[in-house]
Amino acid sequence: MSLLSKFETYDARRRELNRIGINPFGVVQERVLSATEAVINGRETILAGTNNYLGLTFDPDCISAAKIALDEQGTGTTGSRMANGTFAEHLALERDLAEFFGRRAAIVFSTGFLANLGILSTLTGRGDVIVLDADCHASIYDGCQLGGAEVIRFRHNDAGDLAKRLRRLGERAADTLVVVEGIYSMLGDSAPLADIVAVKREFGALLLVDEAHSMGVLSARGLAEAAGVEAGVDFITGTFSKSLGATGGFCVSDLPELDSIRVASRAYVFTASLCPSVVASTRAALECVRKRPHLRAQLWRNARDLYARLQGLGFTLGPEPSPVIAVLQAQPEGALAFWAGLLERGVYVNLVLPPATPAGMSLLRCSVSAAHSENQIAAIAAAFGAVRADLETTSAA
């Protein structure tokens, strides 16, 4: 095997997609029109796969804050936080996050991926144990691998299986980190966090919850707040690229060891810090989450509406209504054709194929926003129905 032969499978798939003229993994938004619309392939398209849960990418307050920061502080920091890359506003954002979550301290990273990578690879190492939900995000798996800890998976959302695996560890369970997510990004289901916290406390482990998709969605702060178990969560990670409409990531904790992680995490020490405009818009977005609960209420109205419409059309969906709505498909080829048909009808969703999906399934992943209008939600559902009818007609011909 040569150094590059590992890419042969990917190259074959890419060539096949090029042959049929479909590229679901390189869609270009030629012109962004709003939080929910863009021009794709020359056609005005409803964006139903952006994770822009509260629609804040075009919020006037966020844009104004970013513009002021650009004028006053320039386009970038040109350095890491440990060098010249710490501006007063970075510290202010960390104070805002710590206050928002009611925690002692916060660390800000340049992306959400880096937050998980940096925290997990530094918090744990060789000789330590991480027990994580099998459906956790790639950034969590990569952080675990980079740190070198022993990784044990438990069955998705199964607190009983978590308890069984911790029990097998014996005394080592007390030095174990348990990792789960608030909302899982593929199927949109939430962790049974109260049960997981009870298990964690029984065995004396530490618990990290990634609230990337649940912050600003299940409550202002996410699942831990919604479930009433914030005191049982030791570390919370998350991102600015979902509900906060920007880029970046963070970790908050009451544990004083978070200060040591700041100086030991390579993903923090050796990465350029966030641009001033991003810091400013993120701080403004946090205020929106605090002061505009109606956005979350509208998000859930839209999510339940689309879930009910798709369910009424007979589609197989994820296990519960959520702003992440997965439409399950039997085969990758069918999912690909369905995705292309939706795009032709002016609706963009995410196509997710194995091995990135749970249990090897293929799915069309919708991401609902508070900014979607009722007419847009209806149009998304109608497009699903129309594409299915088109494909059934083609198959029967």
| Residue 178: predicted pLDDT | 98
Choice among 121, 139, 185, 369 that is catalytic = 185
Choice among 137, 200, 242, 372 that is catalytic = 242
213 is catalytic: yes
What residues have CB less than 8 Å from 244, skipping those under 6 apart? Answer: 54, 56, 215, 216, 282, 285, 286, 289
Choice among 137, 213, 362, 367 that is catalytic = 213
| Residue 1: predicted pLDDT | 66
Residue 321's domain is classified under what CATH number? 3.90.1150.10
369 & 285 share domain: no
| Residue 6: predicted pLDDT | 83
| Residue 357: predicted pLDDT | 81
Residue 116's domain is classified under what CATH number? 3.40.640.10
Other CB atoms within 10 Å distance of the CB of residue 168: 10
Tell me how many domains the chain contains. 2
pLDDT digits (tens, 9 = 90+) for 195-228: 999 999 999 999 999 999 999 999 999 999 999 9
Average pLDDT, the chain: 95
Write out 122-154 in H/E/C secondary structure.
HHCCCCCEEEEECCCCHHHHHHHHHHCCEEEEE
CA distance 299 to 244: 14
| Residue 15: predicted pLDDT | 83
| Residue 186: predicted pLDDT | 92
Using 70 as the pLDDT threshold, list the residues of the chain that sit under it: 1, 397
Is residue 43 one of the residues assigned to a domain? yes
| Residue 353: predicted pLDDT | 85
Number of residues in the chain: 397
Instruction: Choose one of 291, 318, 334: the last residue of a domain.
Output: 291
235 & 337 share domain: no
| Residue 356: predicted pLDDT | 74
pTM exceeds 0.75:
yes
Instruction: Choose one of 262, 291, 320: the last residue of a domain.
Output: 291
pLDDT digits (tens, 9 = 90+) for 40-66: 999 999 999 999 999 999 999 999 999
215 & 357 share domain: no
242 is catalytic: yes
40 & 88 share domain: no
CA distance 377 to 397: 31
Which range of residues forms the domain containing residue 40? 8-47+293-396
Instruction: Choose one of 247, 262, 291: the last residue of a domain.
Output: 291
Q: Six-digit token pair at 76?
A: 């970038």
How many CA atoms are closer than 13 Å to the CA of 246, on its beta-carbon side? 28
In the block, tokens 């990290």 appear at 208
The DSSP bridge pattern shows strands 347-348 and 324-329 to be unpaired
What residues have CB less than 8 Å from 235, skipping those under 6 apart? Answer: 119, 123, 206, 207, 208, 209, 251, 252, 253, 255, 258
Nearest in space to 251 (alpha carbons), one of 284, 206, 297 = 206
Nearest in space to 301 (alpha carbons), one of 371, 228, 385, 226 = 371
CA distance 244 to 250: 12
Q: Is the dihedral of CA 397, 386, 308, 54 positive or negative?
A: positive
